[in-house]
Amino acid sequence: AWEPNISPDGKQVVYKAYRDGSFDLWMLNLTDTGAPPIKLTDTAYDDREPQYAPDGTRIIFSSDRSGSYDIWQLDLVSSTISRLTQTVVEAHSPCWAPDGRRFAYVVSDRSGSKIFIQQPDAKTPQQVFSASTQVTGLQWLPGGREISYRALDRDAAGNAYTTLRVIGLETESSRDISPPGMDVFPFRANWLDSGTVVFSADGKVQILEIGAEPTTEEFEIHVALDRTPYAKKRTDFDSTTKRSVLGISYPTISPDGDRVAFGALGDLWLWSPAVPHLVQLTDDPAADQTPSWSADGKRLAYISDRDGQPRIQVLDLATDKRTTLMLDHKELSFPSWSPDGRQLAYFTDVPGNPLLHVVGQLTVYDLNTETSKTYLAPMPPQPINWSADGGHLLTTRLYPYSNRYREGLYLPVVVNLESGASHSITPWPDRSVTHATLSRDKRLVYVQDGVLNSLRLNDVYRATGSPEVLYNGLADTPSISRSGQQVVFQSGARLMQMDIKSGRVKDITPPLRWRMDQPTEEWILRAGRLFDGVASAYRHNLDIRIRGNRIAGIGPVNPNTQLSVLDASDQVVIPGLFESHAHIGDHNLSEPQGRAWLAYGITSVRDPGSNPYLANERKEAWNSGRRVGPRTFITGHNMDGNRVFYAVVEGISSDAHLERALQRSRELNVDFIKTYVRMSDRHQRRVVEFAHELGIPVTSHELLPAAAYGVDHIEHFTGTSRRGYATKISELGRSYQDVLEVLSVSGMGIVPTMVVPGVVLTFSEQDDLYDTLQFRTFYGKAAKKNYQLFMSFFGPGSEGYVDAYGDLLSQLTARGALVATGTDSPFTPFATGLHAELRLYEREGLKPWQILQAATIQSAKIAHVESDLGSIEVGKLADLVVIEGDPLTRISDLSQISHTIKNGRVYTLDELLKPSHVAADHVP
């Protein structure tokens, strides 16, 4: 229940609440404490910021019902809803004048805000204010001649500040009434009279008589925390028993419907289930993925990083000849053949766009003329399909409900290649489509609500008829044969094939297995100084005996040992570093990225959002030794409410859909579950119940009410929230007693990711982050410029934010809270970002041993693997890093790595900087 407003007679309160997948208006009777709340609006749209009219018969509110935010009115007598404004921008924060004959509202965009006054039956509003200021919380003063608002502004130096401001409607002049430096919250002030105002700021309820110093109204809230212990799942790091492959990525059926190409263990495979016959098409350390059939079924196009950067490879299935298309792009994904074989469609990076790993450009490349043409605005890359005539492309893209908030629906979009025009297809209102494919006979097969559906399209590729459910069970990534009769799709741990005509569905999961890479050697790592992750100081002159993948003993140096010795007697040995928040990606370089993590001493990565099938493929490729890389702990798709933003987020539309998503999590053996910013509290409770039954943790962005019913961890000091305002950190970067208290008492872990707003500051102060061997090898000057461009998005004033975050970091550390380390990569460079994050911790006053514990044992606790990882102790896994210098004196010395040991295997820095073996052009 948020943003309450009490009726003029004091008998009711109206508020917005998010119970059923959207914001609705609710009313509570204050005279009958036993009466249930009454739902006043009930749609798929968001209704926000309600306020009673002075006569108590009407409620004004903002809503995105019209395709952008407008101001609406609910008549409580007739129960009718009417639209009061006709804007094409975003109107919000409405409030009634004291006489009830006028209302004021704000229109905002990236340039700033305007305040308008309008009569309910008028069409033309009066503008009374315009500035670059961000305005919220309008409220009329009792005299009707002034309006107060909360302003978020910047001073001459670019530093953000907030204030409670009053504007005179007759003079259109304004004045600040809150004291300078106050952190004013973005809500309506309440005027007791024209000279006394109550508002929230600095974590307090403030009472201000104009011209005097404010006083505070103290209060307490007692929160019950249901933190019921549960049995944690134990990860099997040791078994050498063969395991079924879970990471089958982007299976695609051949045009004749007889074969399926897919990615697994980093390679491409060809599966003929009717025979049955499984063929490995590629066999090298490169990451080969997203195969696409030519229309004649003789060739496959796919993405490979075998050349050190993503390229489109073309494999002739008859001759095994491989051809590389030398397209000079930093990113390439989802290649798709045209029916005549003369063109390829794909997504690539947008020149000059710093969101390299998030945004792509739909491109069509002519193989004969070697020219390309782009379509649609930049968007998250998605699989691409051609129409049978080669004149249209089908993919999916995000359609936000408004510009005020970024979330919306992913829907199929059809692009006319001749005209460039496009249109979306909406199979069912207010439901996202997560995967879509198109047959030659214009049948759209897609996943919605977690099940497989079909919809007929007409000659101009618009829907005709009604959707049909093909398979009423968990379905992902469908691929349809040229005839439109055979569909292959994934269903958790199974690969399924369906004959559409008969409706028969059969399990065609390929018999593909893998084995954990386990060394058998016994040897000694001799440490001159050892930071074990437990003590705050070094231990000196120790032999660490490693047997296979675990630490078998730690003791004094034995010069007479017969075992092989890696001599680090003049160096420092620490536990492998742990990156707790990095989105490794769905279509990026995996082979060099795997080496980059280890080259920076990072042996474990917790990935809080990626395609679960591809995440498992990458995990199995690294764990099996097919490629060099860290351990990964995955969640798969983030679970959210129906509206989403990132393509990796799954919009949950119903209880049944949620259960299918949870089924996928169980079958794909995810390590934790992440809920995102618009999941309802009821659904989040169910996720917690389910995950804890499996013994795995749940994480989210929200602190309350999540802490009250068992969510284990939260991500980011600041992050997106369905409320439209932050719940842990204010817009000035400040945090208050409630946040510190709940985090400390609940035992929840938090991954601050301070580096995203602070990376400009960090890299400008310590430019050597760009000058390490690792950065120069894996990224280079172009990447430095690109990341500098992206981080400039955060603008001036980042130092103030970082210092404010540092206050919370220091207080949490002092209270013994569980603080880990993560970066939200790829918004910062993979692996480099973690070293920048640790330097920020040092900048804000944490001691180096505290920083190292956050990056090792505390991060392992958040991943629930502290019994195996995070410290150097007998019986734990042999994940260690050998460092030149003295990281307990200077945390920046952590980048001076000579050796990384992961799972008992030793890698020198020189080995990790060099590409792995590249296979020959001819693949047997």
User: 70-93 pLDDT, tens per residue?
Assistant: 999 999 999 999 999 988 889 999
For residue 208, what is the enclosing H or E element? strand 204-209
CA 61 to mean position of chain CA atoms: 30
Confidence of residue 486 (pLDDT cuts 50, 70, 90): very high
- Average pLDDT for 443-471: 96
- Evaluate if residue 65 carries a pLDDT over 70: yes
Nearest-angstrom CA–CA distance, 814 and 808: 10
Burial of 181 (0-12, 13-18, 19+ CB in 10 A): exposed
What are the tens digits of pLDDT across the range 863-878? 999 999 999 999 999 9
User: Is the pLDDT score of 211 beyond 90?
Assistant: no
Whole-angstrom Cα distance, residue 386 to residue 746?
52
SS3 of 764, please?
helix
Q: Which of 605, 593, 570, 526 is nearest to 896 (CA)?
A: 570
Tally Cβ neighbours within 10 Å of residue 924. 6
pLDDT band at 125 (very low <50, low <70, confident <90, very high): very high
> Beta partners for 96?
103
- Cα dihedral: 453, 18, 22, 394 (round 10): -50
Residue 658 has pLDDT above 90, yes or no: yes
pLDDT band at 39 (very low <50, low <70, confident <90, very high): very high
Q: What is the pLDDT of residue 797?
A: 55
pLDDT above 80 (res 448): yes
pLDDT > 70: what percent of the chain? 95
What value does the CA radius of gyration of the chain take, rounded to a whole number of Å? 29
Q: Which of 662, 324, 303 shows the shortest CA–CA distance to 474? A: 662
Q: What is the pLDDT of residue 625?
A: 93
Q: In what order do the strands lie in the sheet with 322-325?
A: 288-293, 299-304, 311-316, 322-325
Positive or negative, the CA dihedral 500, 247, 698, 650 is negative
Q: What residues contact 536, with CB distance under 8 A and at least 6 apart?
A: 847, 849, 850
pLDDT computed for residue 808 by the predictor = 92
Confidence of residue 157 (pLDDT cuts 50, 70, 90): confident
Residue 14 to residues 7, 94, 594, 879, Cα–Cα distance (Å): 8, 14, 53, 56
Question: Would you state the pLDDT for residue 924?
Answer: 21
DSSP percent split of the chain into helix, strand, coil, nearest 5: 15, 40, 45
| Two tokens, residue 96 | 């009634």
Within 8 A by CB and 6+ apart from 163, the residues are 150, 151, 153, 176, 177, 178, 180, 182, 184
Residue 918's pLDDT is what?
39
Contact 613, 635 (CB under 8 A): no
Averaged pLDDT, 138-152: 96
User: How does pLDDT run across 273-328, given as a tens digit for each residue?
Assistant: 999 999 999 998 899 999 999 999 999 999 998 887 889 999 999 999 999 998 87
Q: DSSP secondary-structure letter at 342?
A: S
* Lowest-confidence region among 17-31, 443-457, 549-563, 910-924: 910-924
Question: 600, 630 in Cβ contact below 8 A?
Answer: no
- The answer to whether the CB of 673 falls within 8 A of the CB of 665 is yes
Average pLDDT over residues 392-407: 94
Other beta carbons within 10 Å of 179: 15
User: Over 466-512, what HEC string results?
Assistant: EEEEEECCCCEEEEECCCCCEEEEEECCEEEEEECCCCCEEECCCCC
DSSP alpha helices (H): ranges in 509-611? 591-599
CA distances from 644 to 21, 99, 648 (A): 11, 40, 9
**How far, rounded to the nearest angstrom, does the alpha carbon of residue 721 sit from its chain's CA centroid?**
12
Residue 389 near residue 339, CB atoms below 8 Å: yes
Give 353's pLDDT tier (boundaries 50, 70, 90): low
What pLDDT score does 291 carry? 96
pLDDT in tens, 565-621: 999 999 999 999 999 999 998 755 679 999 999 999 999 999 999 999 999 999 999
Average pLDDT of 185-190? 95
Say how many residues make up the chain: 924
User: CB of 442 within 8 A of CB of 465?
Assistant: no
Q: What is the pLDDT of residues 747-787, one digit of tens each?
A: 999 999 988 766 555 555 666 888 899 999 998 877 777 76
Query: What rounded mean pLDDT belongs to the chain?
Result: 92
pLDDT value at residue 917: 47
Listing DSSP states for 48-81 in one string gives EEEEE-TTSSEEEEEE-TTSS-EEEEEETTT--E
Neighbours of 159 (CB within 10 A): 15
For residue 258, the one-letter residue type is D
Q: Residue 165's pLDDT is what?
A: 96
Residue 819 above 80 pLDDT? yes
> CB-based contacts of 741: which residues, under 8 Å, 6+ apart?
none
The whole-angstrom separation of Cα 356 and Cα 40 is 44
Interatomic CA distance for residues 751 and 175, integer angstroms: 40
For the chain, the straight-line distance linking the first and the last C-alpha, in angstroms and rounded, comes to: 64
Strand partners, 28: 13
> Average pLDDT of 618-639?
95
Tokens matching residue 199: 């508002």
C-alpha pair distances (Å), 793 with each of 353, 770, 822, 827: 11, 19, 20, 11
The torsion defined by the Cα of 874, 876, 877 and 880, in degrees rounded to 10, comes to -60
Joined tokens for residue 340: 């005549």
Long-range contact pairs involving 365-374 (C-beta distance under 8 Å, separation at least 24): 365/325, 365/327, 366/342, 367/325, 367/341, 367/342, 367/343, 368/342, 373/417
Q: Give buried/exposed letters for 200-234 (b at 16+ CB in 10 A, else e).
A: bbbbbbbbbeeeeebeeeeeeeeeeeebeebeebe
Separation of alpha carbons 465 and 586, rounded Å: 34
Q: Residue for token digits 């959210």?
A: 640
Q: Which of 653, 274, 631 is nearest to 449 (CA)?
A: 653
Instruction: Compute the half-sphere exposure of residue 581: CA atoms within 13 Å on the CB side of its CA.
Output: 29
Q: Quote the strand ranges of 678-805, DSSP E.
A: 698-700, 713-715, 749-751
CA dist 72 to 3, 27, 116, 781, Å? 17, 17, 15, 52
Distance CA 147, CA 130 (A): 14
Taking residues 137-147, what's their average pLDDT?
Answer: 96
What pLDDT sits at residue 628?
95
- pLDDT 10s digits, 100-118: 999 999 999 888 999 999 9
Q: Is pLDDT above 80 for 377?
A: yes
Query: pLDDT (tens digit, 9 = 90+) per residue, 690-743?
Result: 999 999 999 999 888 889 989 999 999 988 877 777 778 888 889 999 999 999
pLDDT of residue 89: 85
Q: Strands (DSSP E) along 65-145, which ranges? A: 70-75, 81-83, 90-96, 103-109, 112-118, 126-131, 134-140
Average pLDDT score over residue span 536-542: 98
790's enclosing H/E stretch is helix 780-791
User: What would the two tokens of residue 754 be?
Assistant: 């301070």
CB 81 within 8 A of CB 73: yes
